[in-house]
Amino acid sequence: MPPYRIEWLDQAKADVRSLDRPTAMRIFDGILHYARTGGGDVAPLHGDMAGSFRLRLGDYRVLFALQDNVLRIFGVRHRSEAYR
């Protein structure tokens, strides 16, 4: 179903701003790759986050929802904090 239009929620923007530049660039590259091709380590979330997905990029998880052709990113967190 790709390509997706990418929409960043305010919390996700703040999460990325707190990262060092090389890590943030890897995150951006991974998201863009997924939005264009649908490729990447993506899994559906369960429990309170059911209906959403995570994209694994190294030690970071991009938390997002898909609606129509929009990839709505609501969080970018280190794996130790991603599912709290």
Distance CA 77, CA 62 (A): 7
Give the position of tokens 């660039």. Answer: 25
Nearest Cα to Cα of residue 31 among 69, 77, 63, 79:
63
Over its length of 84 residues, how does the chain's per-residue pLDDT go in tens digits?
A: 679 999 999 999 999 999 999 999 999 999 999 999 999 999 999 999 999 999 999 999 999 999 999 999 999 999 998 877
CATH of domain 5-78: 3.30.2310.20
Q: Which pair of structure tokens corresponds to residue 63?
A: 């938390």
The domain limits of the chain are 5-78
Backbone dihedral angles phi then psi of residue 33, each to the nearest 5 degrees = -60, -45
Model pLDDT for residues 52-67, shown as the tens digit of each residue? 999 999 999 999 999 9
